[in-house]
Every structure is written in C-alpha cells, then in structure tokens.
Amino acid sequence: MRGLAPASATTVLERQRRVSSALWLAGIVGIMFVTLILLGRRHGFGLTDYLQFLVDGLQAGAIYALVALGFVAVHRVTGIINFAQGAFVMLGPMLTITFYGQPLPLPPAPRLALAAALAILMTAGIGAAVHRLALHPARNSSLLTRIIITVGVYLILQGAALLAWGPRPYVLPAFTTLEMGDRSFLLGDVLVRAQSLWIWGTAVATVALLAAFFEHTILGKAMRACASNRLAARLTGIQVDTMATLAFVLAAILGAVAGIVVGPVTRPTFSMGLEVGLKGFVAAIMGGLVSFQGAVLGGLILGILENFWAGVTLAGFKDLFAFVVLIVLLLIRPQGFGGAEEGEGT
C-alpha cells in the first residue's frame, strides 16, 4: 500500500496556491503590525512596550493554545465540537483549590502538586462520564445534536460548580512562591512573571507529549485511525467507542491542566470557563480543528493580536479587531493553518 501514492500529493498548482496564500498572509500580518506600531506611537510607546505586549500576548496565547488542544483532541476522534471544554478548564483549578485546602500533613509544594494531580484525575473521570452518559447514547444522532448536548453538559457542570463553590472568586497560589503574590523578572524593562514560565513550559511539554502520543503509541495511532475513517478503524478491530471516551478523557486532562496552570494568574471562579473556552475554540478553528500545531499557532496569534490591539487602541474593541483579523486570515486561507495533516475522513 505504501508505494502507491505519496502521503501528501502536492501538484504544482497546489504549491503555487500555497505560496501565494502564504505571501498574502505575510502581507496582511506585516501591514497590521506596521499599523499597530504607528498607532502606538501616538501614545509614546517604545520598543520595551511592544516587547511587553508580545510577552503578555504569548502568555495569553499559550493559555488559549492549551485550551484549544482539548477541542482538537475531541474533534479529531469524534468530530464533535465539545462546548463543555471550558467547564474542564474551570474544574481543574477549582478542584485543586479544594484539595489544597484540605488538612494534609505535607509541606505546601508537594501538597499543591498532589492537589493538582487529584484534580486532573477527577476531571478526567468527569470527562469519561460526560462521554459515556451523555454522548455515547447519542452516537447515532446528528453531529449538531451531539454538539448541543455538550452545551447542555456545560450548563450542568457550571451550575454544579456554582452550587459547590458559590459565586465568589478563589485564589490558587503561584507555583513559584506558593502564595498569591508571584515572583517576576525584569528582562531589560520587560516584566516576565514566573507563572508565565510555567505556562509556556506546560504548553511546550503538552504539545510534545501529544505529538509523541499520537505518533508513537498504539493508542494514539488507533485514535488517529478513528479520526481518518471510522468504518475502516472499526473493521480493523479498533473499539471506536472506547477511543471516543478516551478522547474525552484526554480533552478533560488537557483542559484541567490549562486551567490549573493559568489559575494563579486569574482568580478562579465558577464561570471562568465561558470566556476562555470561547477563545480556545477560536484558536482551535484557526488550526482547522484537526491540527495541534495549528491550534497552538492560532492561540498564540489570538493572544498577541488581542494584547496589541488593546494596548494601542481602545481595549473595549480588542475582541472586535482580533475577530476581524482572524476572519480575514480565514478568508485568505480557508483551510486554516493546519499544515499537511490528514483531513477529517469522508
């Protein structure tokens, strides 16, 4: 089978199209940055300020990227857009805070690590339950029906969180200092928070682990097979339904990790999943919902765009500008930034 056709057949026309769209992209991005810099000069911004926006944008972007990975994981295997992903992101830090507050005979650092591990485990279990109880029974329904079911699941999880934790904001200690206040470094005049390093590190490690999982483990390859062609996968003996549950477990883990690592930078509360879930969804779409790398790129772009726009113009409009830019980018390159990934099976 292998020698019959190359994995990604690129004709001359395809390559030309790719080059031209890449040029368009570069052009748009270039013009946008020049505009932003010109706008910024009105306020007397210097290089330091722009670097600060970049650093801040990379932090926000890394978070969106982590959340987006969860969307991609579920979509690749089941085709569903999991609107409950934001709830997983919320459950991670909230559960961690609850477990951390328990009187365990451990010093703070291992106690936090243990609390986080327990929270991730529990969220993974909730993810599995969500799939088994709400989505598996609907496996023969249309895609949209299953997507709306995930909306219902989000409502349930957020409502349950409100019951369990109330509406007040909580505090997750920063990983470096193990208290609310965080350490920060000055690189030149640019402020970098210690937690940002944790966020970036987690994002990089997660992407690497995901790539290794999907490329080199049997389980990962089996999940990819389900994404490519469900019927064929089933015919080769892969338990498609189990793979779907595992995809949800993976998404729950990814979401919880994202939430835990961003928790110290914000103040976790029962409704934190909504906004960050939406941004993660947008980032995932930029990657075509099938590409992990594309989702990460999408997340980073979104984060940087937001910060720049907020800094040089009115912050109230930053989402507007970010969305307009993203839509323009999609119009130029409708297949997203997926790169040469396998498509979503026919």
Partner 1 sequence: MSGRRFVALAVIILFLAVFLPRAAAAHTYKIGFIASVTGPGASLGVPERFVARMLQDRLTGQRGIVGPDKVRHAVEIVVFDDQSSADVAAGLARRLIEEEKVTVLVAGTLSGPSLAMVPIAGEARTPMISMASARAIIEDPATKRMRPWIFKPVPENLHSAQKQAEYLSAVGIRSVCHLYENTAYGQDTFASANAIYPKAGISIAYGDSFDRTGTEFPQVARVRASGCQAVVIGSIPPAASLINVAVRERAARVRIIHGHGACSPDLIATAGRAAEGTVMPCGKILVADQLPANDPVRAFDLRLISDYRVSTGGQPISTFSGHAYDALSWALAALRTLPDGLPLPAARQAVRDALETKIVNFVGTHGIFTLSPEDHLGFKPDDFAVVTVKGGKFVILPRNQWK
Partner 2 sequence: MNTRRLSADAVGFLVGVVLVGGSAWLEMSHPGGLSLARLTGGLLTLDLLIRAGVFTIVLVGLNLLMGYAGQVSLGQAGFYGLGAFFSAILTVRAQALGIPSSLSEAWWWPWLLMPVGAFLVGGLSYLIGLVILRLRGHYLAMATLGLGIVVFIVLRENLGLPHLNLTGGFDGVFGIPRLRVGAFVLWPAPRYYLLVWTVAFTAIALGLNVVHSRIGRALRAIHGSELAAECLGVASPNYKALIFALSAVLAALAGSLYAHFQAAVVPATFGFVPSLELVVMSAVGGMTSIWGAPLGALAVLLLSEVLRTQMRVVFPAVSGEFEAVAFGLLLVLMLLFWPMGLAGRGARQFHRAAWKKEA
What residues make contact with partner 2 under the rule CB under 8 A?
A: 79, 81, 83, 134, 137-145, 148-149, 151-160, 162-163, 230-231, 234, 274, 278, 281-282, 285, 288-289, 314, 316-317, 319-320, 323-324, 326-327, 330-331, 334, 336
CB of 210 to partner 1, least distance (A): 23
Pick between residue 86 and residue 298 the one whose CB is nearest to partner 1. Answer: 86
Cα separation, 91 vs 229, in Å, equals: 32
Q: Which is nearer to partner 1, 245 or 307 (CB)?
A: 307
Which partner in partner 2, partner 1, none is near 38 (CB below 5 to 8 A by kind)?
none
Q: Residue 175 carries which DSSP code?
A: T
Check: CB of residue 290 under 8 Å from CB of residue 338: yes
Binding region for partner 1 (CB under 8 A) out of 19-27, 178-186, 202-210, 287-295: 178-186
Binding flag, residue 108, partner 1 (CB under 8 A): no
Q: Which is nearer to partner 1, 77 or 305 (CB)?
A: 305
Q: Pick the closer one to partner 1 by CB: 93 or 338.
A: 93
Find which of partner 1, partner 2, none residue 85 binds, CB within 5 to 8 Å per kind: none
| Part in contact with partner 1 (CB under 8 A); list of ranges 77-85, 101-109, 304-312, 327-335 | 304-312
Cα 159 to chain centroid distance, Å, stands at 23
**Does 212 sit near partner 1 (CB under 8 A)?**
no
Residue from the set 310, 325, 326, 329 that interacts with partner 1 by CB under 8 A: 310
Residues 244 and 77: their CA atoms lie apart, in Å, by 6
Residue by residue, DSSP assigns 53-99 as: HHHHHHHHHHHHHHHHHHHHHHHHHH----TTHHHHHHHHHHHHHHH
How far is the C-alpha of 128 from the C-alpha of 149, rounded, in Å? 15
User: Which among 276, 267, 280, 259 is positioned nearest to 167, based on CA atoms?
Assistant: 267
CA–CA distances in Å: residue 263 to residues 109, 112, 171, 276, 323: 16, 12, 8, 12, 25
Q: Return the number of other C-beta atoms located less than 10 Å from residue 190's C-beta.
A: 17
Q: How far is CA 329 from CA 196, 275, 337, in A?
A: 28, 22, 10
Q: At its nearest, how many Å lie between partner 1 and the CB of residue 117?
A: 24
Between 198 and 270, CB nearer to partner 2 = 270
- Contacts within 8 Å (CB) and 24+ apart, 229-235: 229/345, 229/346, 230/345
Residue among 28, 265, 330, 332 that touches partner 1 (CB under 8 A): 265
- Decide: helix, strand or coil at residue 140: coil
Out of partner 2, partner 1, none, what residue 169 binds, judged by CB under 5 to 8 A for its kind, is partner 1
Question: Considering the complex, what minimum distance in angstroms separates the CB of residue 131 from partner 2?
Answer: 12
Phi, psi torsion values for 119, nearest 5 degrees:
-65, -45
Query: Is the Cβ of residue 113 or residue 134 nearer to partner 2 in the bound state?
Result: 134
CB of 121 to partner 2, least distance (A): 23
Take residue 241 and report the two structure tokens written for it: 């339904």
> How far is residue 258's CA from residue 144's CA, in Å, rounded to a whole number?
26
Is residue 96 a contact residue for partner 1 (CB under 8 A)?
A: no
Contact call for residue 275 and partner 1 (CB under 8 A): yes
Return the one option of partner 2, partner 1, none that residue 134 interacts with (CB less than 5 to 8 A, by type): partner 2
Least Å distance, CB 24 to partner 2, is 15
